[in-house]
């Protein structure tokens, strides 16, 4: 049976069975083109043409030698990779243009080269002289990294095959093109074919490849999401443009925990590591403002303290605004609804702004109670108790549910000079000397004890 052709929209990556002038999914015109088969190997001829060879099956109990990892010496990068670079792995590093991906990977390449790996950096975006200039600025000119400026993937693969480096950095996947694919570099079919070639090359030749990918405004790595499925590890480099802090976050990792973060600071001499991120994300605790609550969170395997800031102000006539930076807007709406329905505190007619200080992005439900505390504090114009951290998940019934790793959170808070915590009633914990805890069975208790109302 012949394989039927498929057509992909270069704007939204929707796949269609036939060509048309307008994509039904995103409505854009002239963006649909026919997909080119990835390779003309035997699988495209259909199963009837030739029999495959028998593959060996093995049991789950069989032991493999652990994959030797190489540490770069950049602790924050190694942490996010799950303890160093795994040989023959494919890694995608995504992020907004200008966030610092090229800087991070040039520093990473230099660090791996100094750790004894043969590292190659291929730029499709900058000339070698520009990369050298950046290396000088970063103080890395003496690092044994080999450099090239090239976008033709056939040339790149031939070179890598000859040079056999341990790690190759491809900056960026959107600039690479294959002469077997008809469309322009950056199009969905080019990105997908280039990523497929590079990842299968990595496995075949035992070379680790790091692909840089630009992210679109919607937060997707431009090109099809399938690139994320092809690689072993997906890292996002994120941060607010106005802030110097940058977070490298593992969103997928076949060789380590996902959700691990590494924290960096962009300086005049490149990225420097931040080994104690909690101190960074907190403002001066002695001058605590109304609307501010410190959340003791867990990012990956490590505790991170950060500050939620809320502002509640009368809305001009019409629709009240809800604006969130660094947290989920849907979750904010839920907490406002619970405060209104279970505690009788209305937010109708009020604008609500919520912000995580320092440009951090929080996704843990454990932040619910800290958000509620910040909102109440802003609404009542009353500061929360000083040197106090808050955490706990809020359910729709208004009860406060315990969250994991209570002691890790409290110890981090104590280390940073905090003296008290507001937390869920049924939290599993021992007593911590010199640390006061206030246990909340439900949100109404928080309203009553902290704000004397409800």
State the residues that interact with ligand TYD by CB under 6 A: 95, 97-103, 134, 137-138, 266, 268-270
Q: Which two tokens stand for residue 46?
A: 């259909």
Tokens 């962009």 -> residue:
266
- Nearer to ligand TYD (CB atom), residue 31 or residue 233: 233
Pair type for strands 90-95 and 302-314:
unpaired
- Nearer to ligand TYD (CB atom), residue 133 or residue 184: 133
- Nearer to ligand TYD (CB atom), residue 99 or residue 202: 99
Q: Which residues pair with 200 in a beta bridge?
A: none
* Minimum distance, C-beta of residue 264 to ligand TYD, in the bound complex (Å): 11
Distance in angstroms (rounded) separating the CA atoms of residues 331 and 328? 5
Site for Mg ion in 92-111 (CB under 5 A): 102
Size of the site for Mg ion (CB under 5 A): 1
- Nearer to Mg ion (CB atom), residue 3 or residue 136: 136
Site for Mg ion in 253-292 (CB under 5 A): none
Give the one entry of Mg ion, ligand TYD, none that residue 24 binds, where binding means its C-beta sits below a cut-off of 5 to 8 angstroms depending on kind. Answer: none
Give the one entry of Mg ion, ligand TYD, none that residue 137 binds, where binding means its C-beta sits below a cut-off of 5 to 8 angstroms depending on kind. Answer: ligand TYD
Give the one entry of Mg ion, ligand TYD, none that residue 252 binds, where binding means its C-beta sits below a cut-off of 5 to 8 angstroms depending on kind. Answer: none
* 388-390 β-sheet, strand order: 322-325, 350-356, 302-314, 292-299, 388-390, 420-424, 436-440
- Nearer to ligand TYD (CB atom), residue 84 or residue 100: 100
What would the x/- binding string for Mg ion be over residues 346 to 375, using CB under 5 A? ------------------------------
Q: How many helices (H) and strands (E) does the chain have?
A: 11, 21
- H helices of 300-402, in order, are 329-343, 368-380
Give the one entry of ligand TYD, Mg ion, none that residue 94 binds, where binding means its C-beta sits below a cut-off of 5 to 8 angstroms depending on kind. Answer: none
Give the one entry of ligand TYD, Mg ion, none that residue 103 binds, where binding means its C-beta sits below a cut-off of 5 to 8 angstroms depending on kind. Answer: ligand TYD
* Minimum distance, C-beta of residue 157 to Mg ion, in the bound complex (Å): 21
Distance in angstroms (rounded) separating the CA atoms of residues 299 and 17? 42
Contact 166, 208 (CB under 8 A): yes
* Minimum distance, C-beta of residue 12 to Mg ion, in the bound complex (Å): 24
Burial class (CB in 10 A: 0-12, 13-18, 19+), 330: exposed
Three-point CA angle 73, 205, 254, nearest 5°: 55
- Binding flag, residue 151, Mg ion (CB under 5 A): no
- Nearer to ligand TYD (CB atom), residue 108 or residue 277: 108
Tokens 């009837």 -> residue:
48
Give the one entry of Mg ion, ligand TYD, none that residue 99 binds, where binding means its C-beta sits below a cut-off of 5 to 8 angstroms depending on kind. Answer: ligand TYD
- Nearer to ligand TYD (CB atom), residue 206 or residue 219: 219
- Nearer to ligand TYD (CB atom), residue 66 or residue 98: 98
Nearest to 258 by CA among 210, 302, 213, 300: 300
- The residue sitting closest to Mg ion, measured at its beta carbon, is 102
* Minimum distance, C-beta of residue 128 to Mg ion, in the bound complex (Å): 14
Distance in angstroms (rounded) separating the CA atoms of residues 2 and 184? 27
Instruction: Give buried/exposed letters for 419-442 (b at 16+ CB in 10 A, else e).
Output: ebbbbbeebebeeeeebeebbbeb
* Minimum distance, C-beta of residue 78 to Mg ion, in the bound complex (Å): 22
* Minimum distance, C-beta of residue 267 to ligand TYD, in the bound complex (Å): 6
Nearest to 209 by CA among 177, 164, 179: 164
Distance in angstroms (rounded) separating the CA atoms of residues 316 and 284? 32
Q: Which residues bind Mg ion (CB under 5 A)?
A: 102
């Amino acid at each position: 049976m012949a394989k039927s052709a498929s057509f992909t929209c270069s704007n939204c990556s929707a796949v269609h069975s036939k060509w048309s002038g307008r994509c039904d999914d995103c409505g854009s015109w002239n963006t649909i083109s026919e997909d080119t088969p990835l390779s003309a190997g035997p699988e495209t001829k259909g199963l009837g043409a030739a029999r495959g060879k028998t593959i060996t099956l093995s049991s789950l109990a069989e032991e493999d030698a652990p994959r030797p990892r190489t540490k770069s010496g950049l602790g924050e990068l190694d942490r996010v990779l799950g303890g160093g670079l795994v040989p023959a792995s494919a890694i995608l590093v995504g992020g907004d243009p200008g966030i610092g991906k090229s800087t991070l990977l040039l520093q990473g390449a230099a660090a791996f080269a100094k750790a004894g790996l043969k590292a190659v950096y291929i730029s499709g975006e900058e000339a070698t002289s520009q990369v050298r200039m950046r290396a000088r600025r970063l103080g890395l000119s003496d690092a044994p990294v080999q450099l090239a400026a090239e976008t033709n993937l056939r040339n790149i693969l031939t070179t890598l095959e000859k040079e056999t480096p341990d790690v190759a950095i491809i900056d960026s996947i959107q600039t690479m093109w294959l002469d077997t694919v008809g469309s322009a570099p950056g199009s969905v079919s080019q990105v997908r074919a280039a990523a497929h070639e590079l990842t299968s090359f990595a496995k075949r030749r035992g070379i680790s490849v790091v692909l840089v990918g630009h992210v679109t405004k919607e937060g997707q790595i431009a090109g099809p999401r399938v690139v994320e499925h092809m690689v072993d590890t997906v890292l996002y480099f994120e941060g607010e443009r106005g802030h110097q802090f940058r977070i490298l976050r593992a969103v997928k990792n076949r060789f380590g925990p996902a959700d691990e973060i590494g924290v960096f600071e962009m300086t005049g001499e490149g990225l420097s590591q931040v080994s104690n991120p909690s101190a960074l994300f907190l403002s001066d605790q002695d001058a605590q403002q109304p609307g501010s609550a410190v959340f003791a969170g867990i990012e990956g395997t490590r505790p991170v303290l950060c500050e939620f800031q809320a502002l509640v102000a009368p809305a001009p006539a019409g629709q009240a605004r809800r604006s969130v930076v660094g947290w989920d807007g849907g979750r904010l709406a839920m907490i406002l609804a619970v405060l209104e329905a279970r505690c009788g505190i209305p937010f109708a007619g009020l604008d609500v702004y919520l912000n995580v200080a320092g440009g951090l992005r929080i996704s843990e439900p454990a932040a619910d109670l800290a958000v509620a505390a910040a909102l109440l504090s802003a609404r009542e114009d009353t500061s929360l108790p000083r040197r106090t951290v808050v955490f706990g998940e809020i359910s729709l019934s208004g009860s406060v549910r315990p969250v994991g790793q209570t002691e890790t959170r409290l110890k981090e808070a104590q280390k940073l000079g905090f003296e008290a915590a507001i937390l869920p009633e049924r939290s599993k914990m021992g007593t911590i000397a010199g640390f006061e805890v206030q246990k909340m069975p439900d949100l109404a208790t928080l309203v009553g004890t902290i704000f004397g109302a409800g």
